[in-house]
C-alpha cells in the first residue's frame, strides 16, 4: 500500500530507535515508489517466447509496488497455428489468460477473422479489450469500452485505447468486409472525450494504449499533455522517446522483446517515466507449464502434411511469382494479380506444407474472376497505386502513371477486347468503383488454391530469378 505523506518521517525515526539508521541512499529513496508496466505489441500469433514472460513478471512483482502487463494490439494474424486453429486466435487468448494480462487495445488485425470470431475471443479473454474510436459492434464487441482504470496495491492507472484508421476509407487496415457496419473515428479526435478522465477517475497516471504508430502517437501526445505515457504498436518499432509532454514507447514485434516502462512516484505523486526493452529471444528462464502448452499447440499434424517441394529459398518477389502463377493455373484467367502486401512470407527450400502456404497467405481471402475490356483493365491499373505482381500471356507496360496491355510483339491490345482477370476479394472490395459483380466467385480461399497447385506439381517449385512485380 502507499505510505501517507508523513509516513517516511515516522519510518525514519523508527529505524533510528531500533538502531537501524538508514544509509544516505536509502534516505533519498524514502517516499519514492515505482510501478512497472510490461508491454507487448504486434506479436501476430507468435507463441515461442510466451513461456519466458511469466518468470520476468514474477520477479517484478517482488520488486515494484505494482506490476501491470498490457498489449498494444495485433495479437492475431501471422502464425498459421493461431490463425487456422479450430477457434481462430484462441491459442493467444489462452496463453495471455495464463499470464494474467491486464488489458489490450484492439489492433487492426484483431478484425481479420471477422466480427463474430473477434466477439468470441473477447468473451473468452479474462482481461478487457479497449477501443475508444470504434462503435456499432455486436456481442462482446459491442461492450468493448474506450477506457478503463485498473488499481493494484493502491495505485490507480487509467488506460485509454485507440486503433489506427489509416486505410483510404479512414478505417483500420483489414479486409473491409470484416468491419462492415462498424464506425471509426480518428484517435486524435476521439481522445477529446477523455479530457479530464484522469482526474475524474482519481487515477495516479494516464496511459494511452494505442495501435496507430509513431507519427500518430507523437501527434496525440502533443495534443493532449495530460497523457503521461503512450504505449503504442502497429509499426513494429522499439523505442522510448521522451517528448516535452511525456514518454512514448513501443516494444518491437513477434514477441521478440518485452517492453518495460517504469512509472516513478514521490509521496504518491507521479514524477517521471522511463523505458527499457527485454530481449525475450535470449532469456533463459521459462515457465515449464506454459512451454508445454505452446509445444502442444505447435504440434498440430494437419499443418505439416507434405504437399510438394520447393527447389530453393525464394525471396519475396520470387514468392509472389509463385503465388500469381499458381492462381492463374487454378483459375485459368487471362490475367492474375496479387497485391504485394498480401504475400506475407518467403517460400523456403524443402517441403511445402499447409503451414508454409498459410505463412505466405494468412488472410483467408476469396478469389473472383471478372470479364472486362482491355480499356477497363487499363483504367484500373492506372488508378491502382499499391505494389503488385501479375501473371499473364500479355505484358503490362507502364507509361508515366498509366498502364497499357501489349502482346508478345509489343502491340497494344484492342481497347474493346475482353479478358478475364482474377484477383482476391480484398482488392476488389477496396476498388469497388472498378469491379461490380464478379463473373465467378471461387468457393475456396486463395490459400486453398495455392495448396492445390503445389499438390499437382511433379517437379519442385522453382521461380528463381522471376520478377513480375510492379
* Structural domain contains residue 178: yes
For the segment 62-74, the average pLDDT, to the nearest whole number, is 97
Residue ending a domain, among 298, 323, 355, is 298
* Bridge partners for 184 per DSSP: 134
* Bridge partners for 105 per DSSP: 130
Give yes or no for residue 19 having a pLDDT over 60. Answer: no
Give yes or no for residue 203 having a pLDDT over 80. Answer: yes
* Structural domain contains residue 147: yes
Residues 330, 277 share a domain: no
Q: How many domains does the chain have?
A: 3
Residues 242, 321 share a domain: no
Q: How do residues 412-439 score in pLDDT, each as one tens digit?
A: 999 999 999 999 999 999 899 999 899 9
Residues 168, 200 share a domain: yes
| Least confident stretch, 15-29, 251-265, 357-371 | 15-29
pLDDT at 26: 38
* Structural domain contains residue 89: yes
- Long-range (24+ apart) CB contacts under 8 A made by 244-251 are 245/221, 246/221, 246/273, 247/273, 247/274, 247/275, 248/214, 248/217, 248/218, 248/221, 249/39, 249/275, 250/41, 250/72, 250/214, 250/217, 251/39, 251/40, 251/41, 251/72, 251/277
Q: How do residues 122-148 score in pLDDT, each as one tens digit?
A: 999 999 999 999 999 999 999 999 999
Q: How do residues 176-190 score in pLDDT, each as one tens digit?
A: 999 999 999 999 999
For the segment 392-409, the average pLDDT, to the nearest whole number, is 92
pLDDT at 410: 92
pLDDT at 20: 44
pLDDT at 27: 33
Quickly tell me which residue has 493532449 as its cell.
Answer: 224
pLDDT band at 385 (very low <50, low <70, confident <90, very high): confident
Rg of the chain in Å (alpha carbons)? 26
pLDDT at 357: 97
Report how far residue 395's alpha carbon sits from residue 179's, in angstroms, rounded to the nearest whole number.
35
* Structural domain contains residue 462: no
- CATH number of the domain at 433, please: 3.90.780.10
Residues 277, 359 share a domain: no
* Structural domain contains residue 470: no
Residue ending a domain, among 278, 298, 318, is 298
Residues 160, 308 share a domain: no
Residues 121, 79 share a domain: yes
Report how far residue 422's alpha carbon sits from residue 442's, in angstroms, rounded to the nearest whole number.
10
- Please enumerate in sequence order all residues whose Cβ is within 8 A of that of 277, keeping only pairs 6 or more positions apart, or say none: 238, 240, 251, 252, 257, 258, 259, 260
Residues 318, 256 share a domain: no
| C-alpha to C-alpha distances, 370 to 94, 192, 422, 446, nearest whole angstrom | 42, 45, 6, 16
Residues 404, 353 share a domain: yes
- Please enumerate in sequence order all residues whose Cβ is within 8 A of that of 308, keeping only pairs 6 or more positions apart, or say none: 352, 454, 455, 457, 460, 461
Give yes or no for residue 447 having a pLDDT over 60. Answer: yes
Domain encompassing residue 386: 304-456
Residues 143, 257 share a domain: yes
∠ CA 156-160-163, rounded to 5°: 155
* Structural domain contains residue 466: no
* Structural domain contains residue 461: no
Residues 118, 58 share a domain: yes
pLDDT at 88: 96
Residues 73, 10 share a domain: no
Mean pLDDT of the chain: 93
Percentage of the residues of the chain whose pLDDT score is greater than 90: 89
Residues 240, 354 share a domain: no
- CATH number of the domain at 230, please: 3.60.21.10
Instruction: Give the relative orientation of helices 288-298 and 50-61 as an angle to the nearest 10 degrees.
Output: 160
| Least confident stretch, 25-34, 348-357, 397-406, 449-458 | 25-34
Q: How do residues 330-342 score in pLDDT, each as one tens digit?
A: 999 999 999 999 9
Give yes or no for residue 259 having a pLDDT over 50. Answer: yes
Residue ending a domain, among 275, 298, 321, is 298
For the segment 442-459, the average pLDDT, to the nearest whole number, is 97
Give yes or no for residue 3 having a pLDDT over 90. Answer: no
* Structural domain contains residue 14: yes
Residue 33 has a CB neighbour count (10 Å cut-off) of 21
Give yes or no for residue 15 having a pLDDT over 80. Answer: no
Amino acid at each position: 500500500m502507499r505510505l501517507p505523506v508523513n509516513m517516511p518521517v515516522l519510518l525514519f525515526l523508527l529505524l533510528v530507535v531500533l538502531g537501524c539508521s538508514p544509509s544516505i541512499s536509502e534516505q533519498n529513496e524514502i517516499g519514492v515508489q515505482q510501478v512497472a508496466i510490461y508491454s507487448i505489441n504486434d506479436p501476430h500469433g507468435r507463441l515461442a517466447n510466451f513461456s519466458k514472460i511469466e518468470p520476468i513478471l514474477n520477479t517484478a512483482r517482488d520488486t515494484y509496488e505494482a506490476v501491470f502487463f498490457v498489449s498494444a494490439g495485433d495479437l492475431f494474424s501471422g502464425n498459421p497455428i493461431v490463425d487456422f486453429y479450430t477457434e481462430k486466435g484462441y491459442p493467444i487468448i489462452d496463453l495471455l489468460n495464463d499470464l494474467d494480462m491486464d488489458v489490450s487495445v484492439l489492433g487492426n488485425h484483431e478484425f481479420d477473422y471477422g466480427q463474430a470470431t473477434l466477439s468470441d475471443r473477447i468473451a473468452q479473454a479474462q482481461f478487457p479489450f479497449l477501443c475508444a474510436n470504434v462503435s456499432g459492434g455486436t456481442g462482446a464487441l459491442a461492450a468493448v469500452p474506450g477506457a478503463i482504470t485498473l488499481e493494484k496495491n493502491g495505485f490507480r492507472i487509467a488506460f485509454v485505447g485507440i486503433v489506427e484508421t489509416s486505410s483510404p476509407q479512414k478505417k483500420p487496415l483489414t479486409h473491409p468486409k470484416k468491419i462492415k457496419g462498424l464506425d471509426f473515428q480518428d484517435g486524435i479526435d476521439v481522445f477529446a472525450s477523455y479530457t479530464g478522465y484522469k482526474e475524474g477517475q482519481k487515477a495516479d497516471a494516464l496511459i494511452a494504449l494505442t495501435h496507430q504508430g509513431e507519427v500518430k502517437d507523437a501527434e496525440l501526445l502533443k495534443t493532449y499533455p495530460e497523457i503521461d505515457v503512450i504505449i503504442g504498436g502497429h509499426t513494429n518499432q522499439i523505442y522510448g522517446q521522451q517528448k516535452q509532454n511525456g514518454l512514448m514507447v513501443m516494444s518491437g514485434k513477434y514477441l521478440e522483446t518485452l517492453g518495460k516502462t517504469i512509472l516513478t512516484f514521490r509521496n504518491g505523486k507521479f514524477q517521471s517515466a522511463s523505458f527499457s526493452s527485454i530481449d525475450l529471444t535470449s532469456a533463459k528462464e521459462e515457465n515449464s507449464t506454459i512451454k508445454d502448452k505452446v509445444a502442444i499447440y505447435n504440434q498440430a499434424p494437419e499443418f505439416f502434411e507434405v504437399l510438394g517441394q520447393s527447389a530453393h529459398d525464394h525471396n519475396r518477389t520470387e514468392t509472389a511469382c509463385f503465388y500469381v502463377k499458381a492462381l492463374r493455373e487454378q483459375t485459368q484467367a487471362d490475367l492474375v494479380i496479387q497485391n504485394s502486401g498480401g504475400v506475407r512470407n518467403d517460400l523456403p527450400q524443402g517441403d511445402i506444407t499447409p503451414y508454409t502456404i498459410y505463412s505466405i497467405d494468412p488472410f483467408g481471402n476469396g478469389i473472383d474472376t471478372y470479364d472486362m475490356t482491355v480499356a477497363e483493365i487499363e483504367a484500373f491499373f492506372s488508378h491502382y497505386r499499391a505494389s503488385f505482381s501479375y501473371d499473364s500471356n500479355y505484358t503490362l507496360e507502364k507509361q508515366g502513371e498509366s498502364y497499357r496491355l501489349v502482346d508478345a510483339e509489343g502491340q497494344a491490345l484492342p481497347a474493346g477486347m475482353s479478358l478475364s482477370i482474377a484477383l482476391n476479394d480484398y482488392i476488389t472490395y477496396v476498388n469497388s468503383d472498378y469491379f461490380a459483380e464478379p463473373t465467378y466467385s471461387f468457393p475456396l480461399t486463395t490459400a486453398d488454391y495455392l495448396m492445390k497447385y503445389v499438390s499437382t506439381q511433379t517437379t519442385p517449385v522453382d521461380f528463381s530469378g522471376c520478377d513480375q512485380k510492379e
